[in-house]
């Protein structure tokens, strides 16, 4: 095995562990949400609109990786609850842009705050101060990875712990 192969094998193992642990943490945080809370798909719509600003239904469907037809009822529900508003596009009046409302922002922040509070408690009760600092630094590295070009999927790679 070459040095390059060793480096890649170590990176692949790190990627496997990182994927598994972030998925497990995400599942735990979602499982601790109140049963009467908003669906994760609706929260995904609100989060995307909050981060990126107004968007078309087609763009939202692409972001969520669902068919635009599947988004229709979801958007109607969010609009009925006052979480989103539809506005004609300023440039192309034929286009409709969807934007988050103040009510939607409050609902989103309430959900996010609850999950972050639970995670903060777990950080304090489970990790040492040194481990918390390491995790804070790792969060910055994960942000960089989230912005990295991951390239096309490699169809010949092993699935491992999918």
DSSP state string for 71-129 = HHHHHHHHHHTTSEEEEE-SS-TTSEEEEE-HHHHHHHHHHHHHHHHHHHHHHHHHS-H
Which pLDDT band, with edges at 50, 70 and 90, does 9 fall under?
A: very high
pTM comes to 0.74
pLDDT at residue 115 greater than cutoff 50:
yes
Q: Which residue has the higher pLDDT, 137 or 152?
A: 137
Predicted pLDDT at 161 = 52
Burial 89-103 (b: 16+ CB within 10 A, else e): eeeeeeeebbebbee
Q: Where is average pLDDT lowest: 3-17, 34-48, 71-85, 126-140? A: 34-48
Question: Could you give the CA distance from residue 49 to residue 30 in angstroms, rounded to a whole number?
Answer: 20
| Rounded Cα gap, residues 134 and 124, in angstroms | 13
How far apart, in whole angstroms, are the C-alpha atoms of residue 47 and residue 63?
11
pLDDT digits (tens, 9 = 90+) for 47-79: 999 999 999 999 999 999 999 888 999 999 999
Confirm if 119 and 22 have CB atoms less than 8 A apart. no
- For residue 111, is pLDDT > 50? yes
pLDDT at 162: 54
C-alpha dist (Å) from residue 74 to 64, 82, 83, 86, 94? 12, 12, 11, 13, 21
Residue of 135 and 39 predicted with greater confidence: 135
| Average pLDDT estimate for 81-102 | 94
User: Which domains can be identified in the chain, with CATH numbers?
Assistant: 19-147 (1.10.10.10)
Of 23-37, 72-86, 123-137, 142-156, minimum mean pLDDT range: 142-156
């Amino acid at each position: 095995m070459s040095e390059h192969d060793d480096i890649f094998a170590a990176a692949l193992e790190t990627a496997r562990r990182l994927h598994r642990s972030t998925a497990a943490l995400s599942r735990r945080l979602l499982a601790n949400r109140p049963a009467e809370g908003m669906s994760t798909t609706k929260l995904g719509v609100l989060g995307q609109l909050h981060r990126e600003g107004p968007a078309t239904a087609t763009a939202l469907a692409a972001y969520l990786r669902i068919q635009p037809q599947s988004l229709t009822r979801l958007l109607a529900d969010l609009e009925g609850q006052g979480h989103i508003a539809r506005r004609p596009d300023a440039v192309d009046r034929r286009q409709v842009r969807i934007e988050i409302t103040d009510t939607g922002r409050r609902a989103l922040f309430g959900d996010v705050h609850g999950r972050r509070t639970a995670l903060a408690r777990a950080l304090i009760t489970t990790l040492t101060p040194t481990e918390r600092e390491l995790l804070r630094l790792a969060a910055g590295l994960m942000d960089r990875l989230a912005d990295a070009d991951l390239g096309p999927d490699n169809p010949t790679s092993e699935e491992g712990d999918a």
